[in-house]
Structure 1
């Protein structure tokens, strides 16, 4: 028999992996698009908010949350300690050594002891100058000599570690050979930088350098550029450390560091390295002061590390803010995110980057002239989502179906029955009717075997009618809709109704008409990305003319006209085709608009109006429309507009 082994697929992306579910991201974008944002703006808003969680996936942090955490980390670092800690620590050790020496000299009555005390009294207050003066002092006290050596060793390791991360471990037990190796490393590093400046450096040279001196660089750079970047950031941080101190502290610390480098025999090589790093990375904010508000003193190494991290966080904060021209998620350094916020933040960032690519790959977004646009597939999805939201708020009823259940003798039987109601014209369900009477009589036996029928016994056979309807939704697009916060609700309603009609009942013919100073027929892709214009006029007259043409093209269809508006008509179409605006509405505007309503009545179209405001003029006009046409008037809140419109459409289709 053949032997089979099963394991993870290794030939690239898993061919059986389900497609990336981008629909929730598109739905989240849709709300912004319907409120008037462009697809590009809606996508950026989604990236800032992050992805909502679901049953099978966890929520993903957006750029705003990552930015908040970066800023919190910066505050924590600033409160970590004081930058002058090394001066305080060095001064404390120096004072300890001097005190131990004085304790040794005090019992000695000789002139030599008094001379030594005088020399100690004459030491300058500057720590660096005092250490230089004492470098050749012949300590009488062994304890004082040990403390002074501890001070020099601490400064040497601390200052070197500030430039080369990991130097503390390399110099934990310094000896002449260890210091010579440090000098050799510095010389080799500078020679390698000079060779690179001449164009003579190779990757093999770098590999040889790391084999020899790699223990000085625990971050394990892969090439010279990574090594230069690491060293330059720490050098720039040390430069900012000096700039952040007071002039007196700056001078004292600079002198102290220079003394350490000179004693170690590294002054010349360190100068060469600093000049080379500054020349290669002048963009690192050299000399920019940074404010630290903590109370604990920091060593030079710790202060430099804190300032280097603060600089990295500042760059990361700027990248996450995305508030500069041409900003892109590709500008955000994943390694910087990992260092600052951890691995999970990198995963969240990768998920955000994937959104835009998947929206384009799966056909929801397309680029035209450098701009993002919604595709018809995306608009259909937004319509379906809007419709689901509408139905999620509707109570009872048959959701989404508008079959006529009271269709008379011409209807088609469904196979079910229901209790008879006054006015029903459906066929009588004789079997169920008689059965109801027999069961009722059996519960109340009187000895009479005859079956007596009661009104409650009657049931009729359900029938349904699937007549086609010509549907017109007239949506006010004037600027006042934006001011009242109804803009997004109106567009969402139009998409929901369009999705219902075209998706489940394609026999119906629907037309969406938007009107402001002029009226125009809107395609679904236009509705989603439609932006408002600051124009004057509510030209219902023109909108009714277009709706009438749509009904006339479908004379055998059941006419349904729905109007969504927040104001009375203030414009009409003139014979020359131009729109005339007048406020308060002119008599001619009202006369022409009501004439179109009368035409709708003669067509047999019931015109239902959804008012989004309660202005007296609007109420008066709408009441006149209802009186002339016989339609109904609704006054929904903007957030429930979709429920009212879709419910009314279904109600009228049921007769």
Structure 2
């Protein structure tokens, strides 16, 4: 029998991960839209903060910054300098110890030569290059120093070179020189347009052990080397002028001795020319107890540069920003696989919202689809009902009609009927007609019957919502939008035979479709034109004369605007007498239509109280002073109670 082995899955996203629930993300996005954000801005904010079961960009940025703090406290950048000085002092001390017992003149001359060594380590090392060491231990220490400098300088240029150069033999140095020459030649060929993939493959086959990152092509190799070269320069900029000059001279001397000075200088110039967009200057703040070698210090500086670039991409604060700009591989290297998977899931979010039919439009201007608007309305209704502790009820009468509870009777189906089919009577009609085609029943149009239900009276519902700037200033704007969306969802889903119209008003009034209402943005418009809003509401009631009129007004101020005879809005504060006169005239027309107004008064304002009292006295309506945080529940509950009484 064949055997099977199981192990941890480590190649891409978890295939058993539960599918992402775009509806919960849409609910959060919808709440932002209801608060005044555009769909594009709301999605960007959602991606930043994340949602249930999905880490946001802000959390990734926080982890990036934490990683940066760890790197900055990793150690000192001048560790190679300190180690070079220590080894130099150790070699000189060992040589002095060997010379001291010798009473001869040669020993004194050597001691004098050691006394005259320059204080600059680079100059001292250059002077000692031809010195004939008396002490074997001193000679070994000095060679360790020279080998240290060669390996650290090369490791700063090529990450991992320190391990590749562990032997430090002349053959190793010749191979490094051959690699740099081949790389320069490959760049020359690329400039001439003659570079091929086969050239790169041959280069990597011969010198791949120098590049543990396993670059996939020449561009990736150039990018890696250029970033490291830029980090080396920024490391030098982080040192004091004295330290920088000392380290530069030590590095140049080590490379001259190895015969690599010219080829490395040429490579550095080529890398800078190819990636001028990198940050090639400016120090970094790195401090700690440990002494970092030049290669490790360069790695720390390079990682800090990558973190800064990654943080900017994750911040998405620049024009045209998009999640596709973020390097997933860089996130994986920096924060691990789980963070990279979280980023991929964030990238999927917009795609899921589009694929599931909630968003449309271009990347820079997203739009809510009708399906999304319905979902947002249902969510607003659910939030409102949960706040009120209630649930929508019916408003039936016992007359036979188009909706409600089943009466137990049926009638023939007519074109346009939406009542449920009576399947038993429909099949019975076909059976009475007789079977056809070997015992099979064939349904005809005349066989269909529909179940009759109790009739529900229809209502013409008008919700007049104040959208003036005072609502924004008082923090009532979002609650007003939520109330309107919840009411529209309630009527559309529970009472489909009703005719609902949402009218928003500031200096003028306009009828708002659900999508317009959902995407309505904050505007600093002065004026409360209740006159125009009542005028539009009256037209809606006149189009449905046999429907029960329901007019609800949500406002935080007395009328301060009206429509002039030319159709243009006129604003005045304190309100002009003409504004009050025209508004109350529309209230009287509502009274003649049999519409009793319910005014939800949201401000403790004496002038508003005076106006509402006059309105109620003329119309026979009523005033409700709700808690603004529960406005939606008051409005919905008022409609439900009115329909139940009916």
> 1:93, CA displacement in angstroms?
0.8
Q: 575-584 or 155-164: which moved more?
A: 575-584
Which structure 1 residue ranges, 5 or more long, are not aligned?
1-12, 54-58, 417-462
Determine the structure 1 residue equivalent to 2:47: 47
Determine the structure 2 residue equivalent to 1:419: none
Q: Is the 8 A contact 1:478 1:532 kept in 2?
A: no
CA distance in 2, matches of 1:364, 1:542: 34
Cα deviation, 1:380-408, whole Å, max 9, x if unaligned, reads 11101101111112225xx222224xx58
> 1:415, CA displacement in angstroms?
10
Instruction: Name the SS for the 2:456 alignment partner.
Output: coil
Where does 1:140-539 land on structure 2 (aligned, <5 Å)?
Answer: 140-367=134-361, 371-396=365-390, 399-404=391-396, 466-539=456-529
Q: Evaluate the alpha carbon distance shift between residue 106 and residue 18 of structure 1 in structure 2; reply closer, same or farther with a 3 A threshold.
A: closer
Determine the structure 2 residue equivalent to 1:33: 33
Cα deviation, 1:160-208, whole Å, max 9, x if unaligned, reads 1111122222222232322222222222222222222222211111111
Q: Is the 8 A contact 1:66 1:345 kept in 2?
A: yes
CA distance in 2, matches of 1:626, 1:248: 86
The answer as to 2:96 corresponding to 1:106 is no
Determine the structure 1 residue equivalent to 2:58: 64
> 1:413, CA displacement in angstroms?
11
Q: Which runs of 4+ in 1 moved over 6 A?
A: 16-19, 408-416
> 1:253, CA displacement in angstroms?
0.4
Q: Evaluate the alpha carbon distance shift between residue 578 and residue 274 of structure 1 in structure 2; reply closer, same or farther with a 3 A threshold.
A: closer
CA distance in 1, matches of 2:618, 2:384: 30
Q: Evaluate the alpha carbon distance shift between residue 413 and residue 565 of structure 1 in structure 2; reply closer, same or farther with a 3 A threshold.
A: closer
- Alignment TM-score, normalising by the size of structure 2: 0.86
Q: Evaluate the alpha carbon distance shift between residue 94 and residue 513 of structure 1 in structure 2; reply closer, same or farther with a 3 A threshold.
A: same
The answer as to 2:68 corresponding to 1:74 is yes
CA distance in 2, matches of 1:141, 1:628: 115
Match of 2:582 among 592, 608, 628: 592
CA distance in 1, matches of 2:464, 2:563: 16
Q: 173-182 or 473-482: which moved more?
A: 173-182
Q: Evaluate the alpha carbon distance shift between residue 576 and residue 20 of structure 1 in structure 2; reply closer, same or farther with a 3 A threshold.
A: same
> 1:465, CA displacement in angstroms?
6.0
CA distance in 1, matches of 2:148, 2:399: 103
> 1:409, CA displacement in angstroms?
9.4
Q: Is the 8 A contact 1:474 1:515 kept in 2?
A: yes
Q: Is the 8 A contact 1:403 1:464 kept in 2?
A: no
> 1:614, CA displacement in angstroms?
0.9
Q: Evaluate the alpha carbon distance shift between residue 349 and residue 18 of structure 1 in structure 2; reply closer, same or farther with a 3 A threshold.
A: closer
CA distance in 2, matches of 1:217, 1:368: 42
CA distance in 2, matches of 1:17, 1:341: 20
Residues matched between the structures, number: 585
> 1:17, CA displacement in angstroms?
11
> 1:333, CA displacement in angstroms?
1.0
> 1:297, CA displacement in angstroms?
1.9
Q: Is the 8 A contact 1:561 1:606 kept in 2?
A: yes
Q: 560-569 or 518-527: which moved more?
A: 518-527
> 1:630, CA displacement in angstroms?
2.8
Where does 1:124-139 land on structure 2 (aligned, <5 Å)?
Answer: 124-139=118-133
Instruction: Name the SS for the 2:554 alignment partner.
Output: strand
> 1:482, CA displacement in angstroms?
0.9
Q: Is the 8 A contact 2:328 2:340 kept in 1?
A: yes
Instruction: Name the SS for the 1:654 alignment partner.
Output: helix
- Alignment TM-score, normalising by the size of structure 1: 0.85
> 1:582, CA displacement in angstroms?
2.1
Instruction: Name the SS for the 1:291 alignment partner.
Output: coil
Determine the structure 1 residue equivalent to 2:633: 643
Cα deviation, 1:528-556, whole Å, max 9, x if unaligned, reads 11124333321111211211121122121
> 1:646, CA displacement in angstroms?
0.5
Cα RMSD, aligned residues only: 2.4
Match of 1:615 among 605, 620, 623: 605
CA distance in 2, matches of 1:302, 1:18: 41
Q: Evaluate the alpha carbon distance shift between residue 254 and residue 414 of structure 1 in structure 2; reply closer, same or farther with a 3 A threshold.
A: closer
The answer as to 2:550 corresponding to 1:560 is yes
CA distance in 1, matches of 2:590, 2:309: 64
Instruction: Name the SS for the 2:546 alignment partner.
Output: coil
Q: Is the 8 A contact 1:469 1:559 kept in 2?
A: yes
> 1:526, CA displacement in angstroms?
0.9
Q: 583-592 or 210-219: which moved more?
A: 583-592
Q: Is the 8 A contact 2:92 2:138 kept in 1?
A: yes
> 1:654, CA displacement in angstroms?
0.8
CA distance in 2, matches of 1:599, 1:131: 103
Q: Evaluate the alpha carbon distance shift between residue 188 and residue 486 of structure 1 in structure 2; reply closer, same or farther with a 3 A threshold.
A: same
CA distance in 2, matches of 1:321, 1:376: 31
Cα deviation, 1:239-291, whole Å, max 9, x if unaligned, reads 11112211111111011001111121211221121121111112222232222
Q: Evaluate the alpha carbon distance shift between residue 307 and residue 409 of structure 1 in structure 2; reply closer, same or farther with a 3 A threshold.
A: closer
CA distance in 2, matches of 1:22, 1:126: 66
CA distance in 2, matches of 1:323, 1:533: 24
